Amino acid sequence: MDQSKFTIIIPSKIIDKNLINCEEKIRRFYKEIKILLMLDEVNDNDDIEFSPYTDKIVTGLVNVSEKRNMGFRLCKTDFLVFIDSDAYPGHPWLDKIESIFKQNQTIGACGGPNLSPEENDEEKKLISFVKKSWFVTQDVNLLKRMQSEGKFIHFLPTCNLIVKRSILNNKDPFDKNLFSNEEISLNVYIKKSGYKIYYEPSVHVFHKDRNIKSFLKQRFIYGSESLSVFLKYPCKCSFNLLISTIPFISTLLFASIFFLKTIQINIFFVNTYLFLLPILIIFLSIIIIIFETCRIFLISKKKFFKIFVLLSLSVFIPGLGQTMKPFLSWKLKRKIWTQ
């Protein structure tokens, strides 16, 4: 593998233990590969000695999309490697990349699973099991489990994604106006440009799970961007993201109609027909949550009620995020978002 052909871009607010671990794990396998750490700022006490091939880039207060765009503008290599600061490789995951792209010239991007590492933390173990529910994670069988063979797929996240630089035509790869789910803008651009996205199971990394509080914040922010992402980049992924907001919005609609009934405001269409729709959606959501709770409980042997509550919050919080979006300033969203 020619390490000079790759630049790894890692966005992070600060230099923390996750970022240090990510850089150290990469250096175990690639001593001379270029790494760009995209940071809000570099403090005087950030005296960590990184490799000479690792650069600390001060981005200022921008979102993750713009951090990655800035990293893209700084690199001239054939391949861009995107990985999150809380992810890391457990093997030389880039070794097969060049051959994969050479085998098929229509491949514009390649990546693989982002697996949960073995954890002693019970809270993070529980999050790991919840994220393996299809009701929470898109393409869960591909992204959170190892598959036996490679295939062309429609979406890969930027916690583990390699892009052929030439296909971007010097265009910023990410929509800087998106606060989350920015990889959807890149995936859509790749496909519209006539290229394909290839899933290779051997190109896998480990992606640390968040604690419960951070995980629920993440779900909230995902939901707050759902409508914007779908309107700008309509596709299967953005549609699924939008659907994730429906359970809470249905609950809100049910509460509103019920309130109108209690104060004796009767609207025939609303009371007769629209009243039944949110009830049906809420009922189906609860049934699925119970089913998934039972399945996760049988696998994990964790506390049933805790799984049920966490899964319920995971399902309903995205809609809360979308509902609250008009009241969320850029700074507040960035404060909530932890990456």
Is residue 328 in a domain? yes
Same domain for 162 and 311 = no
Q: Quickly state the pLDDT bin for 77 (edges 50, 70, 90).
A: very high
Which pLDDT tens digit goes with each residue over 25-74?
Answer: 999 999 999 999 999 988 766 678 899 999 999 999 898 999 999 999 99
Question: Any long-range contacts for 142-149 (C-beta under 8 Å, 24+ apart)?
Answer: 142/113, 142/199, 143/113, 143/114, 144/113, 144/114, 144/115, 144/116, 145/113, 145/115, 146/113, 146/115, 146/201, 146/204, 147/113, 147/199, 147/201, 148/201, 149/201
11 & 87 share domain: yes
The CATH number of the domain where 14 resides is what?
3.90.550.10
Query: Is 45 among the domain residues?
Result: yes
| 166 and 249 part of one domain | no
Looking at the fold, whether 175 and 260 belong to one and the same domain comes out as: no
Q: Which of 194, 209, 224 is the last residue of a domain?
A: 209
Residue 33 sits in the same domain as residue 104: yes
* Tens digit of each residue's pLDDT (9 = 90 or more) over 282-319: 999 999 999 999 999 998 877 899 999 999 999 999 99
Domains in the chain, number: 2
Owning domain of residue 157: 3-119+140-209
* Interval 188-206 mean pLDDT: 94
Domain annotation covers residue 232: no
Q: How does pLDDT run across 98-155, given as a tens digit for each residue? A: 999 999 999 999 999 999 888 767 888 888 888 888 888 877 777 777 777 889 998 9
Domain shared by 13 and 160, yes or no:
yes
Whether 235 is covered by a domain: the verdict is no
- Whether residue 290 is found in the same domain as residue 171: no
Residues 205 and 313 in one domain: no
